[in-house]
């Protein structure tokens, strides 16, 4: 179906481009994974690019949602809302770049994040300007290509960097509006992509084009569709002189077995976000460059995404600790156990019959769920997992049947998308719409893998549904709630997702929430304490239950850094 074209590059055009890019990468993901030869033939470039853009889309949608909420509040109090009330171009491209930065995966995803950051640095320079035109887009594409190349320690031709530079060169020669510039950039990138096998021996041997470059051409095709309403024809993943009797995945695997580029490199991929200053990051680049290869450090303004291939993963993380505060650390072994590794001679691991995959809000609960046999996905405050992360967790679980627990009402659609994707891969998935981690605990407590799948799902769903859930949190800003207007710093008591009361003392609010939840009866109270909760609150609540509710038991868990001060479950 044709897309309604955007005539200028404004906030809505950026939103449209992000959405179209995600859709296009979703369609091309498997093909891009299959031709992933350089720098490591691990078959995940398409997936990494998809997850990176998915994070960018989520950030852009959050900006638009914030303005929509503000408009609704203004309407409630009869304040006028101007026709132009909405995110600016600067806000939107800033959100896009930040989302890509924090969600960047793999070598190509990290470079794409820097490309988007480079775009944003130019497009946001005019502050509150509503839009930009063709010349502005040309400048943005040029700066994007240059900043991405600068982020890579040792740039190699025949990669996504080459494709980005060709796109910028072609755009420089284009006259006219954004549509003309986007079309020229796409055509330049497409021609450069077709030439990548002549620049990299690993690509020539495998008979494929560069996977990261293919992903960038896909994103530029979405930019053309944004401004013209129609997507260009798909690009070829293989080259004409390649042997045609075998698929690109077979040729990529053969290339790796024959000792192609990247096969005899470092054993681990290390990625983490880093809070650090510019000087510390400059020293970190030098240190990591001596430890391994494929070094890419992107970001700025105190937040960086670090990617490197090394043999000593611990040393790479320690270098980050010396530079600042690393977090969201991901270490992947390129050898055995990688779902994408082919030609290793190792027999495939036997699938389990059934597994549980759960999203958890803190390290403490992650440990609890893991001890109970679940595969966990950590959702840090303000960083909800994307659907691709849930699909990855389902793959890690390596089971024929999977029960998925999102443990958050706002993750239901994300989890549904992940379940649908997993089903296309032959996994039987049941989604239980748990809205809190305490409901997930109740579901996991009655989980019995030996039962028939449907019976197990019914029992877990029933246990979760019979568990009321509450939270005690601190308000970050002034807002309208179902209990009235709260101010920043107020203590909020939530029951079943709605704000039930506003107070000033954590223990008092927690006690009131617990009393209201137990008013309808209950047999077991589950308390999950966050790092910010007062030490005395658990003892106070346990004593209150023992005194006022004689037949009710209490269980206390430490949740760690989970966002809420306290989670409460009543079964």
Both 97 and 203 in a single domain? yes
Residue located via tokens 């107070």: 503
Distance CA 21, CA 23 (A): 5
Distance CA 4, CA 410 (A): 29
DSSP state of 152: B
Tokens representing residue 210 in the block: 């560069």
Q: Is residue 425 part of a domain?
A: yes
Is the pLDDT at 338 greater than 80? The verdict is no
Both 328 and 369 in a single domain? no
244 falls in which pLDDT band (50, 70, 90)? very low
3-state SS assignment for residue 225: helix
Alpha helices in 478-536 (DSSP H): 506-518
Closest alpha carbon to 147 in 105, 184, 116: 116
Both 99 and 203 in a single domain? yes
Q: Is residue 247 part of a domain?
A: no
Residue located via tokens 């889309």: 57
Both 206 and 285 in a single domain? no
Cα distances (angstroms) measured from residue 247 to each of 151, 202, 242, 319, 383: 33, 16, 10, 41, 38
Q: For residue 153, how many C-alpha atoms fall within 13 Å in the half-sphere facing its CB?
A: 22
Is the pLDDT at 72 greater than 80? The verdict is no
- Beta carbons within 10 angstroms of residue 547's beta carbon: 8
Label residue 242 left, alpha or beta by phi (over 0 means left) and psi (-120 to 50 means alpha): beta
Both 487 and 536 in a single domain? yes
Which position has the higher pLDDT, 403 or 244?
403
Q: Is residue 323 part of a domain?
A: yes
Mean pLDDT for the stretch of residues 286-298:
92
Distance CA 27, CA 24 (A): 5
Q: For residue range 524-550, what is the model confidence (pLDDT) as tens digits?
A: 999 999 888 998 999 999 999 998 988
Which of 202, 228, 254 is the C-terminal boundary of a domain? Answer: 228
Alpha helices in 124-206 (DSSP H): 134-151, 160-172, 178-195, 201-206
Distance CA 475, CA 491 (A): 6
Is the pLDDT at 199 greater than 70? The verdict is yes
Tokens representing residue 71 in the block: 């408009």
What is the value of pTM for the model shown?
0.64
Q: For residue range 256-272, what is the model confidence (pLDDT) as tens digits?
A: 433 344 446 787 889 99
Residue located via tokens 């029951």: 495
Both 453 and 480 in a single domain? no
* Structural domain boundaries, residue 368: 352-466
Q: How many domains does the chain have?
A: 4
Give the domain CATH number at 442.
3.40.50.510
Q: Is residue 235 part of a domain?
A: no
Q: Is residue 239 part of a domain?
A: no
Sheet hosting strand 292-300, strand order edge to edge: 292-300, 303-310, 268-275, 325-333
Backbone angles phi, psi at 219, to 5 degrees: -70, -40
Give the domain CATH number at 527.
3.30.1180
Residue 477 near residue 470, CB atoms below 8 Å:
no
Both 170 and 287 in a single domain? no
Which position has the higher pLDDT, 219 or 370?
219
Both 402 and 509 in a single domain? no
Q: Is residue 245 part of a domain?
A: no
Output the CA angle 103-107-113, nearest 5 degrees: 45
User: Looking at residue 388, what is its pLDDT?
Assistant: 79
Q: For residue range 107-140, what is the model confidence (pLDDT) as tens digits?
A: 899 999 999 999 999 998 765 566 788 899 999 9
Residue located via tokens 């003892």: 539
Q: For residue range 405-442, what is the model confidence (pLDDT) as tens digits?
A: 999 988 888 888 888 888 888 899 999 999 999 999 99
Give the domain CATH number at 282.
3.30.70
Cα distances (angstroms) measured from residue 495 to each of 222, 235, 501, 518: 43, 52, 9, 11
Closest alpha carbon to 460 in 448, 445, 443, 442: 443
The β-bridge relationship of strands 566-570 and 479-481 is unpaired
Give the domain CATH number at 113.
1.25.40.340
Residues of the chain above pLDDT 90, percent: 52
Q: Is residue 362 part of a domain?
A: yes
Both 317 and 198 in a single domain? no
Both 96 and 197 in a single domain? yes
Tokens representing residue 383 in the block: 């960083």
* Mean pLDDT, rounded, of the chain: 85
Q: For residue 183, how many C-alpha atoms fall within 13 Å in the half-sphere facing its CB?
A: 14
Distance CA 78, CA 482 (A): 18
Q: For residue range 12-58, what is the model confidence (pLDDT) as tens digits?
A: 999 999 999 999 998 888 889 888 888 777 677 888 899 899 989 98
Residue 36 near residue 342, CB atoms below 8 Å:
no
Which position has the higher pLDDT, 74 or 367?
367
Tokens representing residue 501 in the block: 């009361």
Q: Is residue 344 part of a domain?
A: no
Q: For residue range 441-473, what is the model confidence (pLDDT) as tens digits?
A: 999 999 999 999 999 999 999 999 999 999 999
């Amino acid at each position: 179906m044709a897309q309604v074209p955007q005539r200028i590059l404004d906030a809505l055009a950026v939103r449209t481009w992000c959405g179209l890019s995600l859709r296009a990468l979703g369609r091309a993901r498997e093909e891009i994974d299959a031709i992933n030869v350089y720098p490591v033939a691990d078959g995940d470039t398409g997936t990494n690019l998809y997850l990176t853009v998915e994070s960018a889309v989520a950030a852009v949608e959050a900006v638009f949602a914030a303005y929509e909420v503000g408009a609704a509040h203004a309407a409630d109090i009869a304040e006028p809302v101007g026709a132009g009330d909405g995110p600016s171009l600067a806000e939107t491209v800033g959100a896009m770049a930040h989302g890509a930065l924090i969600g960047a995966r793999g070598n190509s995803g990290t470079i794409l994040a820097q490309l988007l950051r480079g775009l944003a640095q130019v497009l946001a320079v005019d502050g509150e300007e509503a839009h930009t035109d063709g010349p502005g887009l040309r400048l943005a594409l040029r700066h994007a290509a240059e900043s991405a190349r600068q982020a890579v320690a040792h740039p190699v031709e025949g990669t996504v960097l080459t494709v980005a530079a060709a796109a910028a060169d072609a755009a420089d020669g284009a006259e006219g509006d954004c549509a003309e510039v986007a079309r020229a950039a796409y055509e330049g990138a497409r021609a450069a992509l077709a030439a990548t096998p002549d620049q990299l021996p690993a690509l020539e041997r495998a008979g494929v084009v560069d996977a990261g470059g293919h992903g960038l051409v896909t994103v530029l095709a979405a930019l053309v569709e944004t401004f013209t309403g129609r997507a260009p024809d798909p690009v070829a993943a293989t080259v004409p002189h390649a042997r045609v009797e075998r698929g690109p995945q077979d040729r990529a695997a053969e290339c790796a077995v024959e000792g192609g580029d990247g096969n005899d490199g470092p054993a681990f991929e290390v990625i983490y976000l880093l809070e650090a200053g510019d000087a510390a990051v400059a020293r970190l680049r030098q240190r990591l460059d001596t430890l391994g290869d494929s070094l890419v450090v992107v970001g700025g303004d105190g937040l960086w995404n670090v990617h490197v291939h090394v043999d000593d993963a611990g040393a790479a993380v320690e270098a980050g600790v010396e530079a600042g505060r690393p977090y969201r650390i991901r270490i992947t072994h390129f050898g055995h156990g990688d779902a994408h590794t082919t030609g290793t001679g190792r027999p495939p691991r036997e699938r389990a019959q059934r597994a549980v995959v759960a999203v958890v809000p803190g390290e403490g609960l992650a440990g609890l769920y893991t001890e109970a046999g679940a595969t966990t996905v950590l959702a840090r405050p303000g960083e909800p997992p994307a659907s691709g992360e849930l699909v990855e967790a389902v793959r890690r679980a390596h089971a024929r049947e999977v029960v998925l627990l999102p443990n958050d009402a706002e993750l239901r659609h994300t989890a549904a998308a992940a379940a649908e994707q997993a089903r296309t891969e032959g996994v039987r998935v049941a989604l239980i719409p748990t809205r809190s981690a305490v409901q997930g605990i109740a579901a996991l407590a009655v989980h019995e893998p030996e039962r028939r799948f449907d019976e197990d799902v019914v029992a877990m769903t029933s246990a979760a549904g019979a568990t009321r859930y509450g939270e005690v949190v601190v308000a970050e800003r002034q807002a309208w709630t179902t209990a009235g207007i709260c101010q920043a710093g107020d203590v909020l008591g939530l029951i079943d997702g709605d704000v039930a009361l506003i107070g000033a003392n954590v223990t008092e609010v927690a006690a009131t929430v617990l009393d209201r939840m137990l008013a309808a009866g209950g047999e077991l109270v589950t308390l999950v304490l966050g790092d910010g909760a007062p030490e005395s609150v658990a003892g106070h609540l346990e004593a209150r239950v023992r005194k006022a509710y004689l037949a009710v038991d209490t269980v206390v868990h430490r949740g760690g850094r989970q966002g809420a001060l306290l989670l409460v479950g009543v079964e």
